[in-house]
Structure 1
Amino acid sequence: MATIEGYETKAGRRYMVRYRKPDRTTTKKRGFKTKRDANLFLASVEVDKATGAFIDPALANKTIAELGPSWLERKQGLKPSAYRPLEIAWRVHVEPVWGKFPISKIVFTDVQAWVTNLSIGDEKAKPAKKPKSATTVIRAYGVLAAILDDAVKDRRLQANPARGVDLPRKSKKEHVFLSHEQVRDLADNSKYPALIRVLAYCGLRWGEVTGLRVQDVDMIRRRLNVNQNAVDVGGKIKVGTPKSHERRSVPFPEFLAPAIGEACKGKHLEDLVFPNEDGSYLRAISGGSGRGSWFLKAVQRAGVPRVTPHDLRHTAASFAVSAGANVKAVQRMLGHSSASMTLDVYAELFDDDLDGVAIALNNVVSQMDVPKTCPNKA
């Protein structure tokens, strides 16, 4: 049974509420300045117990530092390339700021201020804090919000105070598309010309092409079977399934057959098609800055626009579309999860299709006996 008791403090008389939780254990809350406030709190507790909305104050006192590690541990089932950014966001941006906060003390305005400060930086801080990219801010916010989402599901909080925050917008990076001549020049100036051409004409991701084994190449059907992905995560190569865990078969044009065949010549089925000189997985960049990169040197020698290996994937998409491939074919070649994703990424490549609609409509209407202008109404 609940009771309200008064007690004396240096600041004056205060009231304490003793009540039972749904599990029948007794707890208390102190510090009410008036008996009316104590009665209102007790009434709200009884309503929450009756409606199933009761939150145990002891559970709500858990800090972000206590809940974060277990949330992060549950994410270890992700691919290493997906897990590592989350771990960095937690370690660098979330835990240092929010670690000591009990989840019950986190409020919406504080979360919004944190997101804003990450976005704009703080030159007055010592050392000065530079603005973070939209991707970094959104990822850090996502980690904090996800931890609080779990707290809501565990009945530690009634609602997530982080939801509804205004986030920075990601600016869409313009794609760089090379011409056939530029791909030729890049390949001719490269240490690995066959690899450059495969990237530019087949659209494989870097980890997919460097993970290709001889047994993945079908010279008769001219197909590259993408069965694994070799990704550099924190300086270490992690080999796993392709992105989204979906294997696919990518056709290669006949003119690439001699170079691919030469790359496979004399190798065992398990050997890599495009290995490093020592037979290990090839890297595009040597060192964190990219200085000394064989790929960067090839770009500079060829005099082509500044591109990355991933940009050659965009070039492959542009070649496919200009050759008449529809969006579904491009989606399958690139390994996108849906055709709508392909359209979102490469909408500009399909502008000619819009022109084709207008031309087709014009051809139909021109064969009909209809007025070409709208008459003026009296």
Structure 2
Amino acid sequence: MFYKIAPEYAKNTLTNIHQVFNMMIREAVRDSYFKDNPIHAVNLPKKAKKKKVEELDEDLKDMKFWEKEEIKLFLQVVSRKGRPRDLAMFLLLIYSGLRIGEAVALTWDKVDFKKSEIKVRYTLFREKDLKSNYELLSPKTESSIRNVPVPPQVIMQLRILKNVQEQVKNDVGELYKDEGFVFTDNSGMPEPARNFNYRMTTYIKKAGVTKITPHNLRHTYASLLFAAGIDLKEAQRRLGHSSSKTTLDVYSHVMRETKIESVIQFNAIANDIF
């Protein structure tokens, strides 16, 4: 319960809720409604741990991103050679700007198929990269809790992935641990971010495009936003930045290049006219 509501409330509020529940249960135990306190051992969700959560901060020294043609070549290779969850993941990262930790933490109830929207509420933390030892934590900042619109291609591939996952569940049966995650292995466990990183490297070699990381796809998304004419405030909201200054600081050079490209395109139109 606390992990589900943690992103929506401050730590003090969660502490108060925890204390009230404990008090109620203790009274129920005293009056013989329960044999013992079922939430006695429940701990409040931890805050994200620096540099251990499966996400990276904006890195000004690593501002690589793909141009449209490189995106196309990469996705063509993943579509031909990859698994449905790979194509769904990379489409999601490219067209939503999610951090990889936010993506692997995504659950189906946070995918709004009708509105074509992704609800970012958690990031996934793994202790020493152990497959089964993970926690859902609140994202890095309050502004990271956001709803991000995505294009039809993303929603379509997520629908395909959901159908594939249902088939895996039927094949595996009771051995499948269904916790509602979107990106899982064949046992139902959330797949580690590093797996997507490894496979992305393989696809990049086959596509012959610039070598980048899953986090660089967030920069790629930002470049697409600015190329599409999305204003700064909206870009800030979609990227989950705490202020528009952060967006400016990180992507000022991308915006500058887009502005230059826009001027060139406008001049070309003017030349065609007169």
Report TM bin, short chain: 0.5 to 0.7
Matching residue of 1:201: 95
State the distance in 2 between where 1:357 and 1:297 align: 34
Partner of 2:111: 217
Quick one: which amino acid aligns to residue 319 of structure 1?
A: L
Superposed, 1:289-368 pairs within 5 Å as 293-351=198-256
> How far does the alpha carbon of each residue in 1:14-64 deviate from its partner, in whole angstroms, 9 at most, with x for none?
xxxxxxxxxxxxxxxxxxxxxxxxxxxxxxxxxxxxxxxxxxxxxxxxxxx
**Hey, what's the Cα distance between the residues in 1 that align with 2:263 and 2:93?**
34
Q: Does 1:257 align with 2:155?
A: yes
Cα–Cα, structure 1 residues 358 and 178, in superposed 2: closer, same or farther, change >3 Å?
closer
**Once the 2 structures are TM-superposed, how far is the Cα of residue 294 of structure 1 from its aligned partner?**
1.8
Distance (whole Å) between structure 2 residues aligned to residue 209 and residue 313 of structure 1: 11
Q: Unpaired runs of 5+ in structure 1? A: 1-76, 86-170, 360-378
TM-score (norm 1): 0.46
Per-residue deviation, 1:333: 0.9
More RCO (CA 8 Å, sep 6+): 2
Aligned equivalent of 2:74, options 186, 194, 198: 186
Q: What letter matches 2:151 in structure 1?
A: P
1 or 2, which has the higher helix percentage?
2
| 3-state SS of 1:239 partner | strand
- SS for the counterpart of 2:49 is helix
Q: Are the counterparts in 2 of residues 215 and 270 from structure 1 also a CA contact under 8 Å? A: no
Q: Give structure 2 stretches of 5+ with no counterpart.
A: 1-44, 54-58, 170-177, 265-274
The match for 2:122 is 228
Q: Structure 1 pair 221/80, CA: closer, same or farther in 2 (3 Å)?
A: closer
Letter in 1 for 2:125: V
Runs of at least 4 residues off by over 6 Å: 356-359
- The verdict on how the C-alpha distance between 1:200 and 1:261 changes in structure 2, with shifts beyond 3 A counting, is same
> Whole-Å Cα distance in 2 between the matches of residues 211 and 318 of structure 1?
24
1:305 Cα deviation after fit: 1.1
8 Å CA contact 1:284–1:294 kept in 2: the answer is no
- Contact 2:179–2:188 (Cα < 8 Å) also in 1: no
**2: CA distance between counterparts of 1:176 and 1:331?**
19
Aligned to 1:176: 64
Contact 2:101 2:193 (C-alpha < 8 Å) held by counterparts:
no
CA offset at residue 358 of structure 1?
9.5
Residue in structure 2 matched with residue 241 of structure 1 by the alignment: 138
Identity of aligned residues (%): 28
Give 1:175 shift.
1.2
Query: Aligned residue for 2:190?
Result: 281
Report the alpha carbon displacement of residue 342 of structure 1 after superposing the two structures with TM. 0.5
Please list the CA deviations of residues 322-364 of structure 1 after superposition, one character each: whole Å capped at 9, or x if unmatched.
01101111111111111110100001122157669999xxxxx
Counterparts of 2:247 and 2:99, CA distance in 1: 15
CA, structure 1 residues 298+317, in 2 after alignment: closer, same or farther (shift >3 Å)? Answer: same
Higher strand share: 1
Please provide the CA RMSD for this pair. Answer: 3.2
Within 1, Cα distance between the matches of 2:244 and 2:95? 19
Change over 3 Å in CA distance of 1:259–1:357 after alignment to 2: closer
Instruction: Point out the structure with max Rg over C-alpha.
Output: 1
Change (3 A) 1:357 1:201: closer
**Which amino acid in 1 is paired with 2:154?**
L
Q: 1:351 to 1:297 in 2, by over 3 A?
A: same
Supply the distance in 2 between the matched residues of 1:176 and 1:256 (Cα, whole angstroms).
23
Structure 2 CA distance, aligned partners of 1:314 and 1:357?
19
CA contact (8 A) 2:52 2:126 kept: no
Deviations 1:138-163 (A, max 9, x none): xxxxxxxxxxxxxxxxxxxxxxxxxx
Residues 54-100 of structure 1: CA distance to partner in whole angstroms, max 9, x if unpaired? xxxxxxxxxxxxxxxxxxxxxxx973431869xxxxxxxxxxxxxxx
